[in-house]
Chain A
Amino acid sequence: MSLSDLHDIASKVLERVPHGEGEVIVDDRDKSLTRFADNGIHQNVADNTTTLRLRIVHDGRVGIATVAGNVWDKLDDLVAAAERARSVSPAGEVDALPDPGPETPFPAAFASATATASPELRADAVAVITGAAEKAGLRAYGALDTGVSRLVIHNSRGLRREAESTRSGLVAVCRGDQGGGYAERSDVNVTEIDAAALASEVVDTCKRNQNAVPIEPGDYEVVLSSYAVTEMLQHLSWMGFSGLSVEEERSFMRPGEKLMSDLITIYDDPAEREGAPYPFDAEGNIASRVVLVDKGVCRDVVHDSASARRAGIPSTGHALPMPNTDGGYTAHLAMAPGDQSIDELISGVKDGLYVTRFWYVRDVHPLKTMITGMTREGTFHIRNGKLCEAVKDLRFTQSIVDALAGTLGVSRERLVSIPEWSPGWDDAVIAPAVRLRSFTFSS
């Protein structure tokens, strides 16, 4: 559907709201994903789904309803369901819907090549990966996805937003008889993803990661790749970058306090061109740049309208779709680049470990930012500044803040990750590699 079609549906829904204020989000997504295993495509899917989300606010009560899929003849049902939910809710303090606000400052990231990507294009890109693996005597596994989203938000106060955005991602794992490798790339434009370069990276890592040897668990100096840092940043965000988590005293963030190294600056920037720019949040508020950690010092957190009101400040434009009891969300998280190359980070380590990737990371103690997980598909011993033998995967149990307090270097190069699955709002994470003084591997 075109944006014009979506505006038309949104208007029809709002016209039906019987009283009070209404907010409608119309989201039309067309997504495709080609999955491969053992050097062949084994799953290959596409879906086109339209979702309507209506919030009615009236008389101190809020009701929400959504319909998805076959929405066209369900506009009346949608309004009736939202109004029914509203009418039975006890009256309380509710947030007014946002005013129209300023014009959308920049367009969402969009590439027509991604929006029109064909199954043949995806298959041919996959063939580059599987071909390289086969040539090296390895087996390739992974997925290439492409998607386009068209979204509009209308509310009764006259707010009107629209965005047309695309994303694509290629993930590859290569496996030999005694170990594997991993690589991924994301881009707004699928034709900017260099499948051959990715194939070269994943095959190279896999070949080096054969016959890994055991290593004693303990504290090691480490260089973490961008893939691993991306995962750390996401967990840091879930554990404490929202205003609500600070309000509820479950966040590690203590504004003004220095918790990390001078080398660490973390921010959320919906306009960053290197990522996947997206100009507004799920309430239609313009998303602003928020510096979360500035040279190791805790600064600000992100808000939706509700937590911002309680904090006495304007929303930063980081709302998720309602109802949401988790508060604002950093959908465009980034760590600022450093001034070293990844090779320079490695060359500074006398005796340590290089970690390609984390796996199955879970929060163990959010206030301490303690996480646990495994290394996977490429953990290497660093000796005298050089990557040496592969070591067997290790479990880590580590406070992220403590680890980043000991940062010894940050890479210039950063990778963008636009997760295929994410809880957010067209997420992107931009992460460099880092060198850390100490990281605890527990088993």
Chain B
Amino acid sequence: MRDLAERALDTAAARGARYADCRVGVRTSETVTVKNGEVAGVSRHESEGIGIRVVVDDAWGFAATGRMDGASIDETVARAVRIARASARVRRQPVRLAPAPAVTGNYVTPHTIDPLRVPVEEKIALLLATDAAIGRVPGITVRTSDTEAVRETTFFASSEGSRITQTIVEAGAGFDCVATSASEVQVRSFPNSFGRQQYAAGWEAVLGMDLPGNGERIAEEAVALLTAEPCPEGTMTLILDGAQTALQVHESCGHPTELDRVLGTEAAYAGTSFLMPDMRGTFRYGSDEVTITADATSERGLGTFGWDDEGVAAQRTVLVDKGLFTEYMTSRETAATFDGTSNGTMRAFGWDRIPLIRMTNVNLEPGTSSLEEMIATTERGVYLMTNRSWSIDDRRLNFQFGTQIGWEVIDGKLGRMIRNPLYSGSTPEFWGSCDAVANEAEWQMWGVVNCGKGQPTQLMHVGHGAAPARFQNVKVRPA
């Protein structure tokens, strides 16, 4: 790895690059899927290659290859340099990078059991036991469960002297069960929807989920939803579970605090942001209950690492402090527009993609309440769990989310189960109405493994620490 990286940097300099960095990466993943009592897939994927980023003629170029020999590296550097020179033909302003110290270091995700060394037989047994538990409930038409294990080792080298080796380890698992009737399709998932719950951790994280122990309960909910009452319609108190709160943070705080969106570089695809630079330090994003951080040091978070993909150290940044919007997530290039320094959020999904500003672990800090207390002090409202659909405008203001399941809350008690709930709102009003966040005992890390951004699209893994939270005067309706 090291030799090829040094060769790439030397070649880039010789070809006129005033800055260059490269990442040599090997990513290995293994997925096991069980569907309706049978093993639907056991697959192992390995990807190895090098990506080289250069600044030539004050413009960016990037090229990547899986051919790991000297001649191919030279060719790929030449390609990156040619691309940069082409960029310079339609350059808006010269590339300027905020200063960052040269770093030498090594980082490995803390883990106890390497998830890629766990025998596949053990993973299959876990999923078949889960499947059997779900299958004990009559009325379930489709049962799907899976596990994923990831290990990615990257060597980063820059022309400014940084040399960093990192190994990120991830383990995840989850299941979905589907119940159908003539007019309804209801899905329940555990621990999270849209794939699975995943951590930057070892296999011990999966063992802690107790998938089989939750199979029957979740399946019973799916069947019960077929005949549950539709979600009531109106403006009312909304209580969200931790997983849905995490997604709400992701969409309505994480994305709008990415500085590249604010500066317009994602305008044609992912969108922009309503949080303009002159709002920093003055704009009331939410209530006093709302403190949100981007923390690349959070335990078990999918956005936890030693250094970002520009070699900037992992750190904790307060984005929203007791409701006040205070800071963005930045890169070296975007930070330079404010004459600041990067807070280390540049991440690439693999050696063949450029780093972009990505969420690390964007966390809603724990409050002082509890789910029990929130319910007990609610006169009329709904308690909603587990995301089913999500949509938000390109500035991250107007949103509508749906969850898989909910319950009415009446006079301080959980009432009937409700199906097809939707809620909608506008970001600052919504977070401004947050009057309670559960405490540390109910706070946990959630993983999002499908965060799309950039062209070509990169599906990044990001983390969100969150606990149940309560909001007032929210529009709620059935789908």
- A residues in contact (CB < 8 Å) with B: 31-50, 62-72, 74, 77, 81-82, 84-86, 88-90, 92-93, 118-120, 122-124, 126-127, 130, 139, 141-143, 145, 171-173, 175, 248-250, 322-325, 359-368, 370, 372-374, 376, 393, 395, 397, 420-421, 442-443
Interface size on B, residues (CB 8 A): 84
Q: Quick one: given A37-B267, A89-B124, A376-B394, are A367 and B456 in contact (CB under 8 Å)?
A: no
A79 to B128, CA, bound (A): 26
Q: Apart from A39-B90, A44-B59, list 8 A-B contacts with CB within 8 A.
A: A44-B84, A120-B89, A323-B40, A364-B389, A374-B392, A374-B393, A442-B424, A443-B398
**Contact between A123 and B86, CB atoms less than 8 A apart:** yes
**Contact between A62 and B402, CB atoms less than 8 A apart:** no
**Contact between A88 and B265, CB atoms less than 8 A apart:** no
- Within the complex, which residue of A34, A48, A322, A367 is in contact with B64, where a contact is CB–CB below 8 Å? A48
B411 located at the interface, meaning its Cβ lies under 8 Å from any Cβ of chain A in the complex = no
CB of A307 to closest CB in B, whole Å? 13
A208 to B191, CA, bound (A): 47
- B residues 254-280 in Cβ contact with A at 8 Å: 263-269, 271
B113 located at the interface, meaning its Cβ lies under 8 Å from any Cβ of chain A in the complex = no
**Contact between B60 and A43, CB atoms less than 8 A apart:** yes
CB of A360 to closest CB in B, whole Å? 5
A256 to B327, CA, bound (A): 57
CB contacts (< 8 Å) of A65 on chain B: these are: 43-45
B317 located at the interface, meaning its Cβ lies under 8 Å from any Cβ of chain A in the complex = no
- Within the complex, which residue of B44, B124, B271 is in contact with A66, where a contact is CB–CB below 8 Å? B44
Q: Which of B152-160, B178-186, B284-292 contacts A (4 or more CB under 8 A)?
A: B178-186
CB of A17 to closest CB in B, whole Å? 16
**Contact between A171 and B268, CB atoms less than 8 A apart:** yes
**Contact between B43 and A442, CB atoms less than 8 A apart:** no
A139 to B89, CA, bound (A): 17
Q: Quick one: given A90-B39, A372-B391, A420-B457, are A47 and B87 in contact (CB under 8 Å)?
A: no
**Contact between A45 and B63, CB atoms less than 8 A apart:** yes
Q: Which of B39, B43, B398 has the most CB of A within 10 A?
A: B43
CB contacts (< 8 Å) of B422 on chain A: these are: 364, 372, 397
B227 located at the interface, meaning its Cβ lies under 8 Å from any Cβ of chain A in the complex = no
**Contact between A172 and B268, CB atoms less than 8 A apart:** yes
CB contacts (< 8 Å) of B51 on chain A: these are: 47
**Contact between B43 and A395, CB atoms less than 8 A apart:** no
B136 located at the interface, meaning its Cβ lies under 8 Å from any Cβ of chain A in the complex = no
**Contact between A124 and B89, CB atoms less than 8 A apart:** yes
Q: Which of B65-73, B165-173, B199-207 contacts A (4 or more CB under 8 A)?
A: B65-73
Q: Quick one: given A65-B45, A395-B424, are A249 and B180 in contact (CB under 8 Å)?
A: yes
A63 to B124, CA, bound (A): 13
Closest 10 pairs between A and B when the two form their complex, measured CB to CB:
A40-B92, A323-B41, A69-B66, A119-B86, A69-B49, A85-B42, A421-B457, A141-B268, A47-B64, A68-B47
**Contact between A68 and B92, CB atoms less than 8 A apart:** no
**Contact between B79 and A46, CB atoms less than 8 A apart:** yes
29 pairs from A and B in contact (CB 8 Å cutoff): A35-B455, A41-B86, A41-B92, A43-B62, A46-B63, A47-B63, A47-B64, A63-B42, A64-B43, A69-B47, A70-B49, A84-B44, A84-B120, A88-B124, A89-B42, A90-B38, A90-B39, A92-B38, A119-B61, A120-B86, A120-B89, A127-B89, A171-B269, A248-B142, A360-B392, A362-B390, A365-B479, A372-B391, A374-B398
A242 to B67, CA, bound (A): 38
**Contact between A45 and B354, CB atoms less than 8 A apart:** yes
**Contact between B400 and A442, CB atoms less than 8 A apart:** yes
CB of B260 to closest CB in A, whole Å? 9
**Contact between B61 and A85, CB atoms less than 8 A apart:** no
Measured CB to CB, the nearest residue on chain B to A374 is: B393
A312 to B258, CA, bound (A): 51
- Within the complex, which residue of B38, B46, B76 is in contact with A93, where a contact is CB–CB below 8 Å? B38
B420 located at the interface, meaning its Cβ lies under 8 Å from any Cβ of chain A in the complex = yes
Q: Quick one: given A70-B68, A250-B180, A421-B456, are A81 and B394 in contact (CB under 8 Å)?
A: no
B48 located at the interface, meaning its Cβ lies under 8 Å from any Cβ of chain A in the complex = yes
- Write the B342-354 contact mask toward A (1 if CB under 8 angstroms, else 0): 0000000001111
A324 to B400, CA, bound (A): 30
- Write the B85-96 contact mask toward A (1 if CB under 8 angstroms, else 0): 111011111000
A41 to B55, CA, bound (A): 13
A326 to B276, CA, bound (A): 41
CB contacts (< 8 Å) of B111 on chain A: these are: none
CB contacts (< 8 Å) of A81 on chain B: these are: 44, 46
**Contact between A173 and B41, CB atoms less than 8 A apart:** no
CB contacts (< 8 Å) of B93 on chain A: these are: 40
- Within the complex, which residue of B141, B266, B388 is in contact with A249, where a contact is CB–CB below 8 Å? B141
**Contact between A33 and B91, CB atoms less than 8 A apart:** no
**Contact between B390 and A323, CB atoms less than 8 A apart:** no
B33 located at the interface, meaning its Cβ lies under 8 Å from any Cβ of chain A in the complex = yes
**Contact between B44 and A85, CB atoms less than 8 A apart:** yes
A58 to B93, CA, bound (A): 59
Q: Which of A31, A39, A68, A118 has the most CB of B within 10 A?
A: A68
Measured CB to CB, the nearest residue on chain B to A61 is: B39
CB contacts (< 8 Å) of A123 on chain B: these are: 86-87, 89-90
B119 located at the interface, meaning its Cβ lies under 8 Å from any Cβ of chain A in the complex = yes
CB of B402 to closest CB in A, whole Å? 6
A384 to B87, CA, bound (A): 46
CB contacts (< 8 Å) of B40 on chain A: these are: 323, 325
**Contact between B64 and A325, CB atoms less than 8 A apart:** no
Q: Quick one: given A360-B391, A420-B457, are A67 and B45 in contact (CB under 8 Å)?
A: yes
A395 to B400, CA, bound (A): 9
Q: Which of A32, A43, A324, A363 has the most CB of B within 10 A?
A: A43
**Contact between B38 and A139, CB atoms less than 8 A apart:** no
CB contacts (< 8 Å) of B389 on chain A: these are: 362-364, 372
B82 located at the interface, meaning its Cβ lies under 8 Å from any Cβ of chain A in the complex = yes
**Contact between B42 and A64, CB atoms less than 8 A apart:** yes
